Structure 1
């Protein structure tokens, strides 16, 4: 009976009990609906806080490059010079720690890996007459009698990680009737040269034909820098420690001129990036002040907006906390000296000409003021965006805890109201059944009275 009341009106009463019950439950669920609205609002706040985090992280990233000076030290490098065949003597790339300058490099030899080619060949069906142990680069490799040359190759390659030597086969004839074992060192330089011996009095080495002089001996790279009289040697053609912050990859013998230059736009480009990131934060904060925004009147955003301006306007310290003078000079204590100024609406502008007047001619002074102000900016942003300890994470953790508590209360409401709905439906079903019984009795009594009246008339 209760189930039928969920879909049809009462047969006897003509009342839609299901709608009545739904109205009762909806009215009693209003507190839970308000709790759900809070959860939904928290979700919107979290989304907005994540957008705020991204804006602050961009500001932090720009400040980081300026506080440690890396953004100011952007250099480019070029290498000019080729051998008689037109091959470039070297290629160069620049990294951190570079210093502007021009360097003359004369490459007299290249580093090479040892390559030993067997002096005797094998047929495709030829096998080892007896087994034994080869020693390659001081490491043992066990060979087994009856193995073909390809199996010998595979056994050597199984130990490449220890020996530093890889084996391959060279077919001297197209039909494969003259196969030679080739041993190649995996690293260049004299330090990686290898010798081959065996424990069979030279029988294995002789059978494989690898006891002679290497076809390509291991060698070091040799070069001079700026006409130096003493050659510089390295076991590799990739040179990372000759010119500060520059990696040279040697490719041919000959001379090359390597030029390292500071990128003139590096400082200004990074300063502009900081200004742009700052203005995006301000725009986000301003946008959230509009009525209906998820973070309207949020205390964190109000605090950030006020502190950002202070961050830019506050001068760099001339002395540290211990009273020791810093590197900051009197005429360059603020970002204003670098062309950064605060507008009435809280945004920043950047005067490139003013910045170029001191960069890079007064690089030390520029570094000093940026180290102070951008360190403050970096840590300010980190206090907001930091994992677990940052203000955004603490806010989100608080909302997560609140949502869990609210959801538990909503679930409790739903459970209690579901039971109440079932009880009400059952109650009205019983009422409908009783009403139907009364209606049936009434109809029977009316029929009886009607019969009595007819009998009385006759």
Structure 2
């Protein structure tokens, strides 16, 4: 706040009153400065707690994902043939399936024998043509020319694609092909009376892809087969035609291992941060900025103790245990071996409900800390935000008090300068009066 009173800095006293006032105000503002320091500290701690809370919430999400049975039903599919690729999804069964690749899917095509210029009339008996796909006939209106016919077919949205190929003699040949492969996409194209266009076309019949599994021949409109085997899709290509190969479906241990390793890393990262924030540093001889947050120490203990279920067992046989620093270690080889030996039993150790499942125990610990309504970290943030408001109110009150104090000091020094100026003027007047008295000069000269 600007002062309502201006000072006359040292005009009469010779003092730098502005600096004196600033120095006095610095002393007066010491309590407010302390409050500002506390405010900055509280704000920094709230920001740290918010960041920590976000990480704990992310850990809860990560743990809940591992608590789902679907997270452990991850399979990979491999093929013995170059031209046969496969992918496995939820619901796939472990094992192998052998098949012979018979044929690829082919798109239905009409290749017209006669050629014409793009502007030649090729549609007879009017300008309409009839396109029949299955039992559905669509009437298309054209301008009768070869170019107009191709354009109408391409704009029809009926699942065909027309092209005109320029030949050496400058004429064009019309080719019309189904946009989808398979027998169901076969079509016919005639004029309005049912007569062939351009004297008729060579037909490349649309056919389905086929494979033989055991005694059965399986067909697909495309080269990708879906739903033939639950949870397994496979695609064939020309490289596999006539060959017999095997698709093997197996549990993808690397996926589960990666997820658990990531979880352990996230826990250790969180534990390290809590240690830094709450422990005493013997080197710097300072305590962490959140050393008074008992809830964080409790969270740290709970994150590690979640490793142990109520039945007194541990996760050490799965390669997860604690080290001498109170952090987790993860033995990938041991975990992978246990997973391959009995994937269902290992998954249950994580997915079992309540306190029986490690992932659920961990998720519960993280939720207790990070819940947006009842979380212990959330409560701490709320309490500190309340303190911040109180501190800010006190700082604002001090600002008003200090503004009033500066105004008062400025007025006092201004009054002092004014009084000194008046006294100086009076002294000068008196000196002038005395010097003008009769005999004053001779009196002074006789001394």
How far is 1:15 from its partner?
2.5
Contact 1:55/1:280, CA 8 A, preserved across alignment: no
Q: Residues 160-175 of structure 1 correspond to what in structure 2 (within 5 A)?
A: 160=157, 163-167=158-162, 169-173=163-167
Contact 2:142/2:152, CA 8 A, preserved across alignment: no
Counterpart of 2:345 (choices 362, 365, 387) is 365
Aligned to 2:250: 261
CA, structure 1 residues 315+238, in 2 after alignment: closer, same or farther (shift >3 Å)? farther
Aligned to 1:85: none
Q: Residues 131-170 of structure 1 correspond to what in structure 2 (within 5 A)?
A: 131-132=127-128, 137=133, 138=136, 143=141, 145=143, 149-150=146-147, 153-160=150-157, 163-167=158-162, 169-170=163-164
1:346 and 2:326 matched: yes
Moved more, 38-47 or 421-430: 421-430
Contact 1:122/1:179, CA 8 A, preserved across alignment: yes
How far is 1:304 from its partner?
0.8
* Matches of 1:128 and 1:230, distance apart in 2: 46
Contact 1:48/1:294, CA 8 A, preserved across alignment: no
Q: Residues 34-433 of structure 1 correspond to what in structure 2 (within 5 A)?
A: 34-49=34-49, 52-53=52-53, 56=56, 59-60=59-60, 63-64=63-64, 66-69=66-69, 72-81=72-81, 88-126=82-120, 131-132=127-128, 137=133, 138=136, 143=141, 145=143, 149-150=146-147, 153-160=150-157, 163-167=158-162, 169-173=163-167, 177-196=170-189, 200-201=192-193, 206=197, 209=198, 212=200, 215-225=203-213, 227=214, 229-252=215-238, 253-254=241-242, 255-263=244-252, 270-288=259-277, 289-290=279-280, 291-315=286-310, 334-343=314-323, 345-350=325-330, 355=335, 358-371=338-351, 372-385=357-370, 390-393=375-378, 395-396=380-381, 399-400=384-385, 403=388, 406-407=391-392, 410-411=395-396, 413-414=398-399, 417-418=402-403, 421=406, 425=410, 428-429=413-414, 431-433=416-418
How far is 1:394 from its partner?
5.2
Deviations 1:33-60 (A, max 9, x none): 3443344223432443355346546754
What is the SS of the residue equivalent to 1:285? helix
Deviations 1:376-398 (A, max 9, x none): 21232244345666544554455
Deviations 1:306-329 (A, max 9, x none): 32343222235xxxxxxxxxxxxx
Contact 2:112/2:201, CA 8 A, preserved across alignment: no
Deviations 1:331-374 (A, max 9, x none): x9542443433445422345667656644333333232222222
CA, structure 1 residues 445+378, in 2 after alignment: closer, same or farther (shift >3 Å)? same
Deviations 1:136-184 (A, max 9, x none): 75586764548x6556545544453xx33344x3323257x32344444
* Matches of 1:31 and 1:127, distance apart in 2: 98
CA, structure 1 residues 385+201, in 2 after alignment: closer, same or farther (shift >3 Å)? farther
What is the SS of the residue equivalent to 1:301? helix
* Matches of 2:109 and 2:42, distance apart in 1: 68
* Matches of 1:31 and 1:155, distance apart in 2: 85
CA, structure 1 residues 384+151, in 2 after alignment: closer, same or farther (shift >3 Å)? farther
How far is 1:301 from its partner?
0.8
- CA RMSD between the two structures: 4.1
Contact 2:210/2:218, CA 8 A, preserved across alignment: yes
Contact 2:185/2:206, CA 8 A, preserved across alignment: yes
CA, structure 1 residues 91+364, in 2 after alignment: closer, same or farther (shift >3 Å)? closer
* Matches of 1:422 and 1:128, distance apart in 2: 100
Contact 2:434/2:440, CA 8 A, preserved across alignment: no
CA, structure 1 residues 447+419, in 2 after alignment: closer, same or farther (shift >3 Å)? same
* Matches of 1:114 and 1:419, distance apart in 2: 93
* Matches of 2:43 and 2:200, distance apart in 1: 76
Deviations 1:401-434 (A, max 9, x none): 6545654654565466457646754664465345
How far is 1:91 from its partner?
1.5
Runs (4+) off by over 6 Å:
2-6, 127-130
Contact 1:58/1:277, CA 8 A, preserved across alignment: no
Task: Give 5+ residue unaligned stretches, structure 2.
Answer: 281-285, 352-356
CA, structure 1 residues 194+411, in 2 after alignment: closer, same or farther (shift >3 Å)? farther
Q: Which has the larger radius of gyration?
A: 2
Task: Give 5+ residue unaligned stretches, structure 1.
Answer: 82-87, 317-331
What is the SS of the residue equivalent to 1:240? strand
* Matches of 1:74 and 1:412, distance apart in 2: 63
* Matches of 1:370 and 1:457, distance apart in 2: 117
1:439 and 2:433 matched: no
What is the SS of the residue equivalent to 1:236? coil
How far is 1:94 from its partner?
3.4
TM-score, structure 2 length as denominator? 0.75
* Matches of 1:445 and 1:310, distance apart in 2: 93
* Matches of 1:392 and 1:214, distance apart in 2: 76
Moved more, 229-238 or 339-348: 339-348
